[in-house]
Amino acid sequence: MAELQNAGNSRQQINSDSLGHHRWTTTSTSENIFLFVPNLIGYGRVLSVVTSLYFMPLHPRTCILFYGLSCILDAFDGAAARRFDQSTQFGAVLDMIIDRCTTSCLLVFLASVFPAWSMVFQCLISLDLASHYAHMYATLAMGTTGQSHKEIDENRPKVLRIYYSNPKVLFTVCAFNELFFIALYLLSFSFQSPTLDGNLLFRQANDMETATYKNTPTSSRDSIAPWSAAAMEVARANKVDSTGPWILLALSTVFMVFKQYVNVIQLIEATKWLATGDLNSRKKARLSRNQKLD
């Protein structure tokens, strides 16, 4: 019976190879990477983020509830991976993709409600995506087999080693970085919305616009399309208290600046690492050509 089973497995491997598929071992077929606990948590984060995006233009409290839930779940997927011995490259990439997309979506919204600062938010999105992509790619291309992007060599900058090697530092910096942008988001709905002029100075929101809306007949309000820019302005007229967001902004600014500094260092180091690999490859190629000529 065991021989028949082994023969069946062999036929299955041969058929798979004939179709151009990768050869699967018995161990690989007994596990489904996509259903690992940390990856399931990642899928839950995706649902939370999509839900928060739906409420983002009109309902700040509900949006923050689901956005915050995604951030909280982010703290559990790594712990689950260690607890169940389910650390995978797919999970690491999934986690990074969710992090980058989540922050980018929030920054896109901030660019729309603070147009004078839109270029700043666009630069932050570009820096975040570029630095993490370059770092991940450099680790996969230049690092040892199976090396995690969080494994930083001793010859790399100390700030990267501190950031990635200490889970508490990593969690704190990332959490407060998100809180900074969440605070800005809430301030766009607050009584003292920090509308920025061309000189990048804070000025008070136009109270007359709010008064005009209050005097607008109900029928006119109801005629506003819920997906339009006008609907977003109407929602922002329903203000929330600004005390909490200002406190969060003050507490998280230093962490946000530090996070952007890490992104810059990470991008520079990744490009230097890749360039070193290119130089070594070109040197080997020249030596190989010279040997063939000899």
Q: Would residue 76 be called left, alpha or beta, if left means φ above 0 and alpha means ψ between -120 and 50 degrees?
A: alpha
Cβ atoms within 10 A of the Cβ of 180, count? Answer: 21
Q: Would residue 143 be called left, alpha or beta, if left means φ above 0 and alpha means ψ between -120 and 50 degrees?
A: beta
Start-end of H helices in the chain: 2-18, 26-29, 37-55, 60-83, 89-113, 118-142, 158-165, 167-187, 207-214, 218-222, 229-237, 243-293
Calpha distance 253→258 (Å, rounded): 9
Amino acid at 173: V
Calpha distance 135→268 (Å, rounded): 9
| Structure tokens belonging to residue 75 | 């703290």
Q: Which residue has the tokens 């087999």?
A: 145
Residues labelled as active-site residues: 99
Amino acid at 290: N
Residue 194 in contact with residue 187, Cβ under 8 Å? Answer: yes
